[in-house]
Amino acid sequence: MTVEVGQPAPDFTLRDQHGQDVTLSAFRGDRIAVVLFYPFAFSGICTNELGAIRDDLPSFVNDDVQLLAVSCDPMYSLRVYAEQERLTYPLLSDFWPHGEVATAYGCFDEQLGCAVRATFVVRPDGILAWQVRNAISEARDPADLRRVLSDLSGSGHTLRSVTNR
């Protein structure tokens, strides 16, 4: 199953690194949600990507935007990872049922047992506004996401889809 730009984003509830439930629809009517899937905590590319977001956090977590980073790692691993890397935004565990949310978004790699590198921007009305998919070995450019968030926050609701492979 693949979610398409212009469709409602699949709702979910996952636990963050502190064991707290986080529900996507809780941000409806309030903020843009960025659902950022990454393959593995503690891996080089993922750590660099999530660190770049940490280093420019006000662009990704503010009154208009909430970042939700999702992997299939267990919650306790994500807690250690967040502490080690000083990641203060929600790291959500899609561990069990394994990869269920990543599958709903069409970005679960069955062979590797992990989410692929994909980002989904959900408007406050719950509609998917933008998505990008990168190869697991290819890092995302946070500048692309900043541009999309700026467009959505300032001038209406642009809808687009990008695939980088």
Active site residues: 46
Burial 49-60 (b: 16+ CB within 10 A, else e): bbeebbeeeebb
C-alpha 42/C-alpha 76 separation (Å) is: 13
Residues contacting residue 21 through CB under 8 Å, at least 6 positions apart: 13, 14, 15
Tokens of 149: 């968030």
The rounded radius of gyration (Å) of the Cα atoms in the chain is 14
